[in-house]
Amino acid sequence: MKVQLKLALVPMILASVLAACGPQSGSDTKSEISGQSKRLPNGLGQGFESDTQLLKTNCVTGDVQFAGGAQADVTYTQDVSFEDVLDSVSGGLNAGAKFSIFDVKGAADFASKQSSDEFSATVTLTSDASVKSAVMKNMRLTDLGKAMFEDGVVTDKVRKNCGDEFVSQINYSAKLFVNAKFSFATKEDKKNFKGSATLSLLNLGEIGGQIEKMDENIRKTAKVSITARQIGGNPEELSQILTDNVFTCSMAEFESKCLPMLQAVVQYARETFPKSLANDPIPDSSKGWAEVMYKTDKYSDFPLLLDGEVVTLVSENDASIITPEIEEARDTVYESYTSEMKNYDRAVGLLKDFTMGEEPKAKITIIKIAAAANKSSLAAVGEACIRTPLKCVEKLDAYKATRKAYSVDALGGPF
């Protein structure tokens, strides 16, 4: 009797220990869902289908625990890439991160405008305050999860209903992204600028003096834009300093116009922003301020109990539908979309901020119109590649057949 009881308890003890401690052999591929995504989880335990990035039903549940303490990190960088900015404003570059350019409203547009390229230089301050995380312990099946089993064996309908992952962690944090971008008419102008000025938000007082010594033609034609984007916290305090989304001036006006604004925004980032994070970070509270990031785990990493037996919420026939061909097509869509966005933004910036003759103006206008049409088409292709992966290659081929062709040579001058 005792022997039988001990044997019967083995799976129960094993499952409870594993569920309480987390995955023992974590999968390499896990997902992150930005708190700014169009579709947000309802909380811990919600199912997630990684192939299509779609939320599913809650097939597991558990006890919520808060872990971790407040951590603050301020970084200063130069010449941020598109991916760097995307990471800052959409919250992560883990599995599925490329999808955020189609899923997080405004993220791709902001990243394209704020990142550096061969015609621009940037200096950036990022303040990242991580407060706490909500995690799920003592995992167990919900009634819906139990319904996925027949005679103790999980059915093939599990992925359709529950997904292959579940929301296992919610991170609460706030971010502030401050960026000064110096845009030039030509690559040569940028090269001369980089050789003459040392850009850093740590020594703002020196930038103005260095710019004053530069070639007058560069100072007259180059443009400076100052942008700050806050996620979480109290953005109303930032809006009192930077009333519009962006503040601009010519480089010749930098010391009189842009430098005072940049100093005020950097001071806000260093002093006011951290102080504003003293209230309860949980968004559901009356003064909640935190942005959230949802993280998932694979069902296959978490043994569960069903009628005293250890099971996993994965069908033996479960398999991803993402083939190497689909993965390559998704990468192509991402790269093409970011390229069209950058070309469009460069064309718009040139037409708005630089004086030029009628011939280069006409050529750049053609680029602007074509790039706008292409990025609109690619956004639809990108959405299809996420939600209906099996149609991704077909949709991409159809786009290639109708893409508006143009030469980017006009974007480099002369004007």
Among the candidates 311, 340, 375, a domain finishes at 311
Secondary structure class of 207 (helix, strand, coil): helix
Q: Is residue 4 part of a domain?
A: no
pLDDT of the residue at 235: 78
Q: Which is nearest to 173 in space by CA: 87, 46, 70?
A: 70
Q: Is the pLDDT of residue 197 over 80?
A: no
Integer Cα distance of 86 and 92 in angstroms: 8
Q: Is residue 10 part of a domain?
A: no
Residue 142 sits in the same domain as residue 236: yes
Integer Cα distance of 172 and 58 in angstroms: 21
Total domains present in the chain: 2
413, exposed or middle or buried, with CB in 10 Å at 0-12, 13-18, 19+?
middle
If you ran DSSP here, which 8-state letter would residue 137 be given?
E
Among the candidates 311, 335, 360, a domain finishes at 311
Q: Is the pLDDT of residue 371 over 90?
A: yes
Q: How confident is the model at residue 231 (pLDDT cuts 50, 70, 90)?
A: confident
Beta-sheet strands, E only, within 15-119? 32-34, 46-49, 54-58, 60-67, 71-78
Secondary structure class of 3 (helix, strand, coil): helix
Integer Cα distance of 169 and 187 in angstroms: 45
Q: Is residue 384 part of a domain?
A: yes
DSSP string, 248-276: EEEGGGIIIIIHHHHHHHHHIIIIIHHHT
Q: Is the pLDDT of residue 261 over 50?
A: yes
Q: Is the pLDDT of residue 16 over 80?
A: no
Q: In terms of residue numbers, what domain contains 336?
A: 324-412
Q: How confident is the model at residue 73 (pLDDT cuts 50, 70, 90)?
A: confident
Q: Is the pLDDT of residue 343 over 50?
A: yes
Number of other residues whose CB lies within 10 A of the CB of residue 292: 22
Rounded average pLDDT over 211-216:
84
